[in-house]
Amino acid sequence: MTHRLPLNALTQPLDLTIATAMTRTPLTARFGPTLGTTLAAALAAVTLTATAGQAPGAASAADIAISHRDRVYAAEQFSNTVSVTDPADNRLLGVIRLGDPSPGNFSPLYRGQVLVHGMGFSPDHRTLAVVSIGSNSVTFIDTQTNTVKHTTYVGRSPHEAFYTPDGKEIWVTVRGENYVAVLDAKTFEEKTRIVTPAGPGMQIFSPDGKYGYICSSFNPETKVVSVADHKIVGTVKQESPFCPNIAASPDGTQVWFTLKDVGRTQVFDAKPPFAPIKTIDTGPITNHVNFARTPKGTFAYVSIGGLNEVKVFRTDDFSQVATIPVGKLPHGVWPSADGTRIYVGLENADALAAIDTATQRVVANVPIGQAPQAIAYVPNAVPEGDGTQNLQPLGVAGQAVHLTLAPAGATTAPTSVSLFDQGLVQVLQASVTGLQPKSAYVLALADNPDGSGNVQALASFMTNPAGSAIVNSIGPIRQVVTPDSAAPEKRRYLMVAPQADGKPGTPVQVQQL
């Protein structure tokens, strides 16, 4: 980069390169106070941009500009796929199929993966670690060739897997049990376990690799572990027992974690004694959090599933600076390696949203697989070639129907519903909000648009303290709730009603037509 100064600024023309500008002679001494101040500010901005460092790396790491060598991966739990997107032009390149759709994966002889969900990657950006909850597995994928290198089976219902910053271990939270499985990064085999309270939800590491932070999905406490000896060295109280996601700031000073059931985000000191710093009421179905370092500062991005928004907070004073509408049920969040983009998986829209961190607006939506969960942005994932080997088209994974439910006469629809096509059947997922907290409800099919007539229950559920719930069901549902039915007079309509003594009451939300 070369800066040319105008002739009237100096007695003679001069090409000033950044290297020249960084010599020991003060800028003000050589060029005068006004010009020196201007150049110093410009160079400071260049330096910040060049070495901002993005999560999960350290702040001292150099930014990596977005290029066709980078990849954005999404773990998609109903199509059992990993989608692969080129962020340079926000284009889906294809999917890596780790398993089959339902009901084929119900067979006792089934060998594929089920409920593809969690995701991490190696520090050298060559390997993707993908967790499948239903098949208790971690699948290791070569980022250059999109091929499976190894599959390790761990305990019941693992949730997330991340490499230690030195690349020597992979820690896997086994949420259905009470430990973190520590895998050897060379052999992919389990070498030890870190015992925690039941239900470890996710772990992330301090940028310097000294600490691992493990939040819980079943118990109201986050554990801090010394990476060197796997010993618990600290405990942080959670304000609820359900933490799905945790992230460490690149400057090594803060840890943020989300509380999905109460709609809050907590912040604590990343260093001993790991003291609580701040609790923020973020909204119903608070999902994931991550960071972007920019010339304007470091910002935390929090996906709020029940509001279909991403909220943006400063990390210095915790003020909210933006609310970004992104689409239905935002889930996973990850920054580009230069901090200019934040990528968000839209669980009930089968899409990947790209946010411009300069304007805090969505600038692209990429169609991907069904119900994306974790997101990972991997810079330089493909060092050579186009990196499209072994990718497959979306196929049935790209087929879904999207509906909304709302109180009769409402102008906005708080509940989104997706019917993910599995071929013979559909998986129904409803992101239900706007109900009474800690109350019993039923999602059902009714004869009439107002929810009256004969009622067939699809799923009973209990709302969380924020009056929300994620409700799942499966069956040949699409044929009876969508307008293209061959027999419209036999159509039925989704609704939500309170449940008492096993029977639905008066509908409180009905399908929007």
- Model confidence at 342, in pLDDT bands (50, 70, 90)? very high
pLDDT of 264 strictly over 90: yes
Cβ neighbours for 247, distance < 8 A, ≥ 6 positions apart: 55, 56, 204, 255, 256, 257, 288, 289, 290, 291, 300
Answer CATH for 400-511 from 3.40.50.2300, 2.60.40.60, 2.60.40.200, 3.90.1170.50: 2.60.40.200
Percent of the chain with pLDDT over 90: 80
Q: Tell me the percentage of the chain whose pLDDT exceeds 70.
A: 88
- Domain chopping of the chain, boundaries: 2-50, 74-384, 400-511
Specify the CATH number for 74-384; select among 2.130.10.10, 1.10.10.10, 1.10.8.60, 3.40.1280.10: 2.130.10.10
What pLDDT, on a 0 to 100 scale, did the predictor assign at position 490?
75
The string of pLDDT tens digits covering residues 13-57 is: 333 333 323 333 333 333 344 444 444 444 444 444 456 899 999
User: What is d(CA 246, CA 511) in angstroms, rounded to the nearest whole number?
Assistant: 35
User: What would the pLDDT profile of 365-423 be if each residue is shown by its tens digit?
Assistant: 999 999 999 999 999 999 999 999 999 999 888 888 899 999 988 888 899 999 999 88
- pTM as predicted: 0.88
Q: Which residues contact 311 (CB under 8 A, 6 or more apart)?
A: 282, 283, 301, 302, 304, 320, 322, 323, 324
Give the span between the Cα atoms of 40 and 62, in whole angstroms: 20
Rounded CA-CA distance 330/309 in Å is 7
- Both tokens of 492, joined, read 């039925």
Q: What is the CA radius of gyration of the chain?
A: 25
d(CA 346, CA 333) in angstroms, rounded, equals: 10
Instruction: Quote the pLDDT of residue 86.
Output: 98
- Residue 491: its pLDDT value, please? 83
| Nearest Cα residue to 170 out of 179, 153, 157, 183 | 183
